[in-house]
Amino acid sequence: MSKFDRPLPKRQLRNTVIVAFVICVTLMTGWELYWRDFGVPASYRNSEGLWTIQRRRIDNGEGDKTVLTGSSRVFFNTQLDVWEAESGQRPIQLALEGTSPLRIMEGLADDDDFTGTLLVGVAPMLFFSGFEYRQAVVDRYGKETPTQWLGQQISMPFEPYLRFYFPDYALFQILHRQDWPVREGWNSNIVLDVRKLANYRKDRNARLWSKVADNEDYRNEARMIWESGFVPMDERDDAFKTMALEGRATQIERAVTATKKLHERGIDVIFVRNPAEGHYAMSEPMFNPRAETWDVLIEKTGALGIHWLDHEELQGFYLPEWSHMTGSEADRYTKALYHIIQRELAAHKNMQSE
């Protein structure tokens, strides 16, 4: 026998495997029941792969549909069921939370498969800065690997049935957001991670989670997150102000270029400003005054612009955490928005033809 060989004790692995399996199932079941008791409803994951599936619908013969893009306000406030009931056609939802829609808009402008109508949500702090929280989502389209595609297909059948299988309830994510003691010398003034706000369906229809409206602590936590890291404009230095102005001009020119391409192909582009309250009603005009941003955007693009402050039908909705509507309010809002768009689009075209 070689000195490197050693006898292995005979052992029965079958019992070990059974015990490990039972422990795993028990812990997983407990974790699942915990989150169900917390009130987490069934939902698909708002994943990169799910967005890619919807984007590819345009490539696969559905390019004549209405496409919704923008940030979370278009995502949560525009209900696909209601839009379909009013128009007879279900839109394609491509909006991404915390993300400027301009790169999506530019991609559609260069995509000959797209021949429908484009609705672009304008959340000022995102649109006029070009910020892309979900940049990786847009990157994935056109670069998705077979492994990524397969992973999405395997994941989707389980997603509506496992409440813990949502990024907000991953163990390390939970540990990360605990109120740990702050070490001396560590900057604790950090922007907090956004909690779960909505539930998602297979076609990315998003609906604000009722807990945001019904649970005061959860609602206040969302508001606190929106306010975290805020510094008033008059406390910013000149370098920041210059950068903001230059960035704003750049984003508007990007929108002008993309809109021109879309108009040349006969595609209607509608920019929409959704309602906002509380902190956003103060901060958005401070950083992006309407006369210097929205009005310039509409004038330079020549597109139809629907601003909630210009239409009484788009006012008076309940926004629990200042930025998004409850599900029932979003239903009413979507119906009102759809009919305003149809009316204003007809008037806009008549004015252009005169």
Q: Per residue of the chain (354 residues), what is the pLDDT tens digit?
A: 566 677 766 767 788 899 999 999 999 999 999 999 999 999 999 999 999 999 999 999 999 999 999 999 999 999 999 999 999 999 999 999 999 999 999 999 999 999 999 999 999 999 999 999 999 999 999 899 999 999 999 999 999 999 999 989 988 888 888 877 777 766 655 556 889 999 999 999 999 999 999 999 999 999 999 998 888 888 898 898 889 899 999 999 999 999 999 999 999 999 999 999 999 999 999 999 999 999 999 999 999 999 999 999 999 999 999 999 999 999 999 999 999 999 999 998 887 776
pLDDT value at residue 300: 98
252 belongs to a structural domain: yes
Q: Residue 284 falls within a domain, yes or no?
A: yes
Which two three-digit tokens encode residue 234? 């008059």
86 part of a folded domain: yes
Q: What CATH number did the domain enclosing 340 receive? A: 3.40.50.1110
Region of 236 on the Ramachandran plot (φ > 0 left; ψ -120 to 50 alpha; else beta) = beta
| Domains: count for the chain | 1
Which spans in the chain are helix H? 13-38, 48-57, 72-77, 80-87, 102-109, 124-127, 135-140, 146-155, 171-176, 210-214, 216-227, 238-264, 278-287, 294-301, 327-353
- CA 186 to centroid of chain Cα atoms: 31
Strand partners, 269: 118
Q: Is residue 258 part of a domain?
A: yes
Identity of residue 227: E
Nearest alpha-carbon partner for 204 in 319, 46, 21, 4 = 46
49 within a domain of the structure (yes/no): no
Q: What is the pTM of this model?
A: 0.91
**Does residue 130 fall inside a structural domain?**
yes
Residues 6+ apart with CB under 8 A from 90: 65, 80, 83, 84, 203
* Domain span holding position 344: 61-144+195-353
Domain contains 29 = no
pLDDT at 107: 97
Q: Is position 159 within any domain?
A: no
